Structure 1
């Protein structure tokens, strides 16, 4: 059954009728493979037979193109064998060679005279035969006809006038461009038919024939889409659907799509196996991939431009290539099938040839390296150099994974020992620090062992990022080993001194928990030059490491630390941030020294550079450090946003990238008394072997335990933290926050003497450090644990210290504590101080001021509600909260066992302190749910 072929059938009938009247003609049927061209040719044969014509059939085949006169033989042998002597003796004599041995073997040569005899013999035979009745010659797959037979058909096509010979030929799309003789025959066509794809309506008719009227339109549409309306493919797909017991229902659409994908793959395989030119073109196209151009495909495939154009047309009409005008694969099934068809040897040969062609055409190193990734072995220095250059280009564009892939491929075929391998391992480690630190450590160790001398080993180890030395014990041991053998920096000069200083910086960084190493940091800092210009990167790096050690140990005050930090940042380029000790260390030190602004502009510039380079791990680190700087400035909301952004950008699968963001968010959680942030930091997987993270975890756990009311457990966390820090030599004020919390907890548990001793020790450390916030907090703590006038005086001193240069957040807390202490003795001054503290906290847009030090009394509530609660006495806060929840004055009095007058007095005081009109405003002021919620 031919569907939607009425116009084509009309042309076929017309051609047969007109040829009967002596108007010999050639009829061309073209179309895509599977579009029904052969079916139309069969219909021509049927019409000719019905009209009484003598029909001759033949067809080309790709595998037989090398046999000369193969198609002519298909036409002539039946005529020569006929009993009624259809071929005259003269023609028979000229065609005798066809029945002989000539042309039966591939490559047989036909002489000019022999071929001319065949051409004339065929022409006279058909002309004579058509004198009695019409002759229809049906030729399928003209594009695969052998050259000698094409000459014969072209000879006939030019001499049809006056005969009753109708030649019908089938030509697939793109076939006419492969051979000039095919084009010549096609151009001689009197009638042209095109087998178009079936419409959805015709596909629906086929569906109805197969599944009856109960099929679903969604199923039919899917079948039509999968086959592009090709009649042959549509019938095959429906056959398979029936074999799978599908019934044409909408719920079966996905199953028929799976069948369609499988069938599409099979169809492509058949096309590639049948058509050598298309297969060769497709291999070149897939190998070149995004780099494919017409010139490169022609060069790599070895095909002519005409052959490439024909193959491209076939693949495009099969919807396998992009229609954008450029050479690009549209359907990934083409790539998969072609790659599967390539053997390992052929694949390697094509990719290596593609790499050489791309280099010849001036392609970039990454374009060349993509090809070299697929070769069986990297054979020579040129290929290694291309892969290394590609790695550099990939790093420059912010693609470390690609860079690592190029270098690993270069390493794969290098000998296991030697300088070249060591150099490549160093380059690979430099790429992997941000993406795969564990592998980077392993590769640095391997490279160091392979280096031929100790100086080269020192160069390798000195490139190790500081933070990685602190994270990996094996790497720390290697650094110490190489550093010990390299020599004293003071006895060296030039480049060797630079190496020695970098090795010393890494050794001291790795020994950050060694009390003896910490104890020598101050003297070494003075020896290094102290205030001297730090123009050398190695000097700056060591200086920063020593500054950190001296800060932790409490040997150096805040002022010299800030002065040296300024010097370092004045000389430190922001583009060096990925490897910079300044970025890793200075922001925290400047925060605890009340000088965060010193690093502010440097961090902003470093962040802009990291964003241009698309380095999320670096951006995470910088954002976290910016959060600390902003916290010290009092920009609480922005500080919180930066720290959380840093945490989001960090890779949770790489603990070393999470460390600084986690510490930044943890610091904010303690300062802002934010239990949610505290829990978030504690959820981060990681080891407590890093003392900074250990300290943060202990403080956060203590904070949460105190918020739950479990004061002994909270105290145990802080005391344990202090014991470990003291044992490691971390006795500076910068890491003595645990003393503040422990002193307050001792005081709340009634252990007055322990509280006072801890508070005084904290004060001594703060005075040695000299930062206003540390001193103010220490005075605040002493004032909180000492009763009477002495405690009030200490609180007043804390306010004075913090007023000019300290943290606004700490000042707001101190004002609240002092205000509460004065409410009984000097109510007016106490209320005034409470209001000042509240306003200062609100200006910082913080979440809570609490009573003091890490929110050891109250939990967190939204907006400014904690600030509002803090200005109320405990009795006022309790009564105000009950009133906000909808209780009447009488109910509150009964529940609290106080007089109704006392309830009214508490509420009046609360309205005044909170600056609100009455009971209705309590809900928003206190941040509680209203009645019935």
Structure 2
């Protein structure tokens, strides 16, 4: 396989030997590199060219038989000559007479004399009449002195004839007759064979597997074998035997586990034949590992002196088994696996313990000592320090070897103290809980009862609380909590079971009631051991969860934010007493627009230590995703939410748990924003969140995502049903509507889209009040955008400009893209194409950076309408051709109203409604209501259709001297724009005006500087 360059070289040399002196070539390389195959292939091609070819093979079995190689040579000459040839008979007779005499001692020319030389010349002259003579000798380093001397005489006697000699020699192997071999190959050209290339390796692997291998498989094979063909063939044979039942190809990582006895046999046999010390040294290097080892350690493991070790190492280097540097490392990982796998278990254990002892005595890094400890299966004694044992446990856990990790941790717990003892105890609890949740929890509770270390007690409680989220049975959960209450009675965390019981029902009872129960817990003093200021860890965790409850229900967001900040200011161990605590406090900050502060606090945490990512860290992933969404990084948010769902499943958290439902809804919302509606729908269906939902209020985010999906598909009545259910759940639980970011971005706009304009206007104004109290410019920008979409008309444009100014200053790219995309249709309809093009171009660029593909498509469609040079989109151009009445009737029809209801509401006849709809259908290029889902798949249609659409009339405000935004502006902490508004209301000459028949917030009250764009 391959070797085309070497074959071309030998063929050229054979051709040139006709006119030149005899050609001599030495093919060198490591064992199994393909020297024999190259000689055989060259011999075959030479015979096809009419050459006489004599193949000589030096094997170990024939090495000690006198005259064996000479017999092959003379027999080869006879085979190439015609039967009964006079020259052949003469050479055979002379050789027979010579071989029956005494064996010469290195004096072949003197013994044989001119008679044999003349006979050889006659034979070679007969053989080279038409083509050169080719003599190949495989493994020439094994040939005896007599045979090599005779062969040299043959070549020298035929120096005037076209003779080509090709000999193969293994790298680094001492020759049986070094001087005779050197004389034979004096002046020979060297052909060194290396490993196969990537393409050659892939071709060899494909040719020997029943099915094509996967991506990276051939590269993994080449990495393990360094391209050695013999090792590659053995590895592929192992693959075939491994996957014979499945008929597939294993993962490339599985190749690292291959132990091939054939490879070990070839290597050890050759090494032991040459030098037994080299065999022991190769095994010692294999025991040292992939990272290599220093020479003194290898000498210690091999049981040889430093000088002998260097001599044997030089042999391994020359043979191509070891890299030529100060750190001894086997070039082929497959050889290392084969040598280690060929040792007995006791031999491996002894070698690894010897290596660990040697390294520990010389103060080597703990990682190196630990690597050898975990490779040994024997029980550990008391001589190992705790740091080494802990490092060994980490390495074993990284390799999923929990038995070895547990063995090291149990021993470390006996010899360690202080923080190392804590790590060992907690690591044991983690492994046992992961292996068997029920038994692990019982063991952790038993450890709780026996420990006096407050830090261990707090961290064990965190593990018990996290593990309880994977317990499905309420009875089993109650049993563990009762046992924990007994274990922690009389300590500073005596009320921990009570906190867990309260927080467990956070999502299936009213958050206001949960908040009251938590306040009672915070006010109680569980034990005189608590801190003097009354802010012990239990109170900190309870306060963080209570802040979330207050955030969900209280109209004053600053109160919840203050409580969350106080909890986050406490040490991290206190928040870890409950897995929800840290995520709850950070959620309060994020939902109130304090994203940068929340991002800065995400990293304030201790290391996970010996265990994988704990549950409280998993629950922070949705918080990080919300921060990424606020920054407009949809791809990052999607990755974090997907990872959260995987990690929650690993922790045993059920599909219907609040944590998984929240992550699921957030991920679906991100997918919708990226334009992957089908994937979002499949996700919701897979988690059984598409049909009827359980009554708990934490499904409200699922309802929001479903409403967005249905609206995108043109099913506005279905979206209206989900929004109505969402509103009912919020009202029943006493929750604020504008509490989630998804609602604040899309909620009021969706309500307006499905026809609930009154409610949309009311909730948009509530959202604006929330944004002012939260003090976040980004939330104010979102609220102004929502209010502008609900209001429409010139005031909607002014509100959008104010929102765009706030969002641009805040750097909120995705929200700004939504805002500018909403502003574009308004400018287009008001015949301001240049400004619309600029705004929409900016929106497309921002949406593209954020990965919001539907928003990009919507902007492009609207841009095509605004730019006279761009191609026209027929259905969107039809929207611009609709009359006001046609638009109004079409919107009502899309919202699910029948023709009769539309006629009644507008006080016109049904026939008039049908005529207007027929005209609208013709302009839009559709045939009827059944085409609504397809029509609404154009992202740019709905905002263009509803731009300037009339809003249901509202009653005029009771107080004509007050801004129609409710409630009135607060008397303290007024922004400059509000102060200007108050002054204008007192001075009619200021020209401050309100349109009472079209309620909207006065745009000039909302910013700190005048609004641009003709406001």
* Matched residue SS, 1:500: coil
TM-superposed deviation, 1:341: 1.7
Alignment-derived partner of residue 161 in structure 2: none
Alignment-derived partner of residue 351 in structure 2: 350
TM-superposed deviation, 1:388: 3.2
Alignment-derived partner of residue 699 in structure 1: 704
1:405-424 to 2 correspondence within 5 Å? 406-410=404-408
Cα separation, partners in 2 of 1:532 and 1:317, compared to 1, 3 Å: same
Q: Is the 8 A contact 1:425 1:447 kept in 2?
A: no
Max Rg structure: 1
1:267-278 to 2 correspondence within 5 Å? 267-272=266-271, 274=273, 276-278=276-278
Cα separation, partners in 2 of 1:297 and 1:880, compared to 1, 3 Å: closer
Alignment-derived partner of residue 285 in structure 1: 285
TM-superposed deviation, 1:287: 0.9
How far does the alpha carbon of each residue in 1:146-172 deviate from its partner, in whole angstroms, 9 at most, with x for none?
xxxxxxxxxxxxxxxxxxxxxxxx999
Distance 1:355 1:376 in 2: 13
* Matched residue SS, 2:375: coil
Cα separation, partners in 2 of 1:315 and 1:684, compared to 1, 3 Å: farther
How far does the alpha carbon of each residue in 1:685-732 deviate from its partner, in whole angstroms, 9 at most, with x for none?
5999996864433432344234445456546656666777888xx533
Q: Hey, which of these two has a bigger chunk of helix by percent? A: 1
Q: Is the 8 A contact 2:466 2:616 kept in 1?
A: no
* Matched residue SS, 2:312: helix
Q: Is the 8 A contact 2:389 2:412 kept in 1?
A: no
- Is 1:510 the counterpart of 2:504? The answer is yes
Alignment-derived partner of residue 735 in structure 2: 732
TM-superposed deviation, 1:564: 1.7
Distance 2:719 2:375 in 1: 60
Q: Is the 8 A contact 1:366 1:393 kept in 2?
A: no
Q: Is the 8 A contact 1:174 1:311 kept in 2?
A: no
TM-superposed deviation, 1:797: 7.7
TM-superposed deviation, 1:295: 0.7
Alignment-derived partner of residue 597 in structure 2: 599
Distance 1:808 1:927 in 2: 21
Alignment-derived partner of residue 862 in structure 1: 855
- Is 1:845 the counterpart of 2:806? The answer is no
Alignment-derived partner of residue 547 in structure 2: 547
Alignment-derived partner of residue 445 in structure 2: 448
Alignment-derived partner of residue 494 in structure 2: 500
Cα separation, partners in 2 of 1:480 and 1:329, compared to 1, 3 Å: same
TM-superposed deviation, 1:48: 10
Distance 2:821 2:30 in 1: 80
TM-superposed deviation, 1:284: 1.1
Alignment-derived partner of residue 979 in structure 2: none
1:508-907 to 2 correspondence within 5 Å? 508-513=502-507, 515=509, 519-527=516-524, 536-549=536-549, 551=551, 554=553, 558-572=557-571, 582-592=581-591, 594=592, 596-597=594-595, 599-600=597-598, 602-603=600-601, 605-606=603-604, 622=620, 624-629=622-627, 635=630, 637-638=632-633, 640=634, 642-647=636-641, 649-650=643-644, 652=646, 654-655=648-649, 663=662, 666-667=665-666, 674=673, 676=676, 679=681, 682=684, 694-710=699-715, 713-714=718-719, 717=722, 730-733=733-736, 783-784=758-759, 802=771, 805=775, 807-817=779-789, 819-820=791-792, 829=795, 832-833=798-799, 844-847=815-818, 861-863=854-856, 865=858, 882=875, 884=877
Q: Which consecutive unaligned segments of at least 5 residues does structure 2 have?
A: 1-9, 15-27, 37-55, 73-98, 114-138, 145-167, 197-222, 238-259, 823-851, 866-871, 891-912, 925-937, 945-1015
Cα separation, partners in 2 of 1:586 and 1:621, compared to 1, 3 Å: same
Distance 2:457 2:225 in 1: 65
Q: Is the 8 A contact 2:507 2:697 kept in 1?
A: no
Distance 1:725 1:888 in 2: 41
Q: Is the 8 A contact 1:176 1:186 kept in 2?
A: yes
The aligned length equals 665
TM-superposed deviation, 1:328: 0.5
- Is 1:381 the counterpart of 2:382? The answer is yes
Cα separation, partners in 2 of 1:372 and 1:523, compared to 1, 3 Å: same
Q: Is the 8 A contact 1:799 1:811 kept in 2?
A: yes
1:198-209 to 2 correspondence within 5 Å? 198=191
Cα separation, partners in 2 of 1:274 and 1:815, compared to 1, 3 Å: same
Q: Is the 8 A contact 2:545 2:580 kept in 1?
A: yes
* Matched residue SS, 2:569: helix
Cα separation, partners in 2 of 1:542 and 1:414, compared to 1, 3 Å: same
Alignment-derived partner of residue 471 in structure 2: 472
Structure 1 window deviating more from structure 2 (267-276 vs 528-537): it is 528-537
Cα separation, partners in 2 of 1:279 and 1:359, compared to 1, 3 Å: same
Cα separation, partners in 2 of 1:526 and 1:467, compared to 1, 3 Å: same
Q: Is the 8 A contact 2:788 2:797 kept in 1?
A: no
Distance 1:868 1:371 in 2: 65
How far does the alpha carbon of each residue in 1:48-70 deviate from its partner, in whole angstroms, 9 at most, with x for none?
999xxxxxxxxxxxxxxxxxxxx
Cα separation, partners in 2 of 1:533 and 1:270, compared to 1, 3 Å: same
Cα separation, partners in 2 of 1:724 and 1:358, compared to 1, 3 Å: farther
Q: Is the 8 A contact 2:710 2:718 kept in 1?
A: yes
Q: Which consecutive unaligned segments of at least 5 residues does structure 1 have?
A: 7-29, 51-81, 88-124, 135-139, 146-169, 204-224, 241-260, 756-780, 786-790, 852-858, 873-878, 908-921, 929-933
Provide TM-score, normalisation by structure 2.
0.49
1:1-12 to 2 correspondence within 5 Å? none
Distance 1:745 1:336 in 2: 63
Distance 1:429 1:407 in 2: 9
* Matched residue SS, 2:632: helix
Alignment-derived partner of residue 113 in structure 1: none
TM-superposed deviation, 1:519: 4.7
* Matched residue SS, 2:378: coil
Q: Is the 8 A contact 2:465 2:500 kept in 1?
A: yes
* Matched residue SS, 1:520: helix
Distance 2:326 2:728 in 1: 73
Distance 1:404 1:590 in 2: 39
Q: Is the 8 A contact 2:359 2:369 kept in 1?
A: yes
How far does the alpha carbon of each residue in 1:250-300 deviate from its partner, in whole angstroms, 9 at most, with x for none?
xxxxxxxxxxx9986653253256453232112111111125221111111
Alignment-derived partner of residue 339 in structure 1: 340
Provide TM-score, normalisation by structure 1.
0.53
Distance 2:582 2:349 in 1: 46
Cα separation, partners in 2 of 1:172 and 1:487, compared to 1, 3 Å: closer
TM-superposed deviation, 1:368: 2.0
TM-superposed deviation, 1:535: 5.8
1:151-162 to 2 correspondence within 5 Å? none
